Amino acid sequence: MEKRYLTEKEVAEILRVTPWKLQEDRSKKRGLPYIKLGKGKNAKVLYDIRAVEEYLKKHTVIPEE
C-alpha cells in the first residue's frame, strides 16, 4: 500500500523548512492544506502527499531560455 499522508516532520524535510515554520503557516491560515486529528497540543497533523506535490508544482519556477 502506497503511503498517502505525511507527518509534519516529513513535510518539513521535503520543503527544507522547520516544523515550526509549518506550524506558523497553519496558525496564520496560509501554506499547505492539512488534516488535523484531535485538539490542542496533542492533535496529530498530517499532509496529503498529493497536496504537497501540487504545492511544489505550483511554486516551481521555469527559467526563460
Domains assigned to the chain: 5-58 (1.10.10)
Identify the pLDDT of residue 51: 96
pLDDT tens-place string over residues 31-57: 999 999 999 889 999 999 999 999 999
Q: Is 29 left (phi over 0), alpha (psi -120 to 50) or beta?
A: left
Identify the pLDDT of residue 2: 74
For residue 61, name the pLDDT band (cuts at 50, 70, 90): very high
Alpha helices, DSSP H, located in 1-65: 8-15, 19-27, 49-58
CA atoms within 13 A on the CB side of 27: 8
Tell me if residue 21 falls in helix, strand or coil.
helix
Asked whether the beta carbons of 36 and 48 are under 8 A apart, the reply is no
Specify the pTM. 0.84
Q: What is the mean pLDDT of residues 11-16?
A: 97
The per-residue pLDDT of the chain, averaged, comes to 94
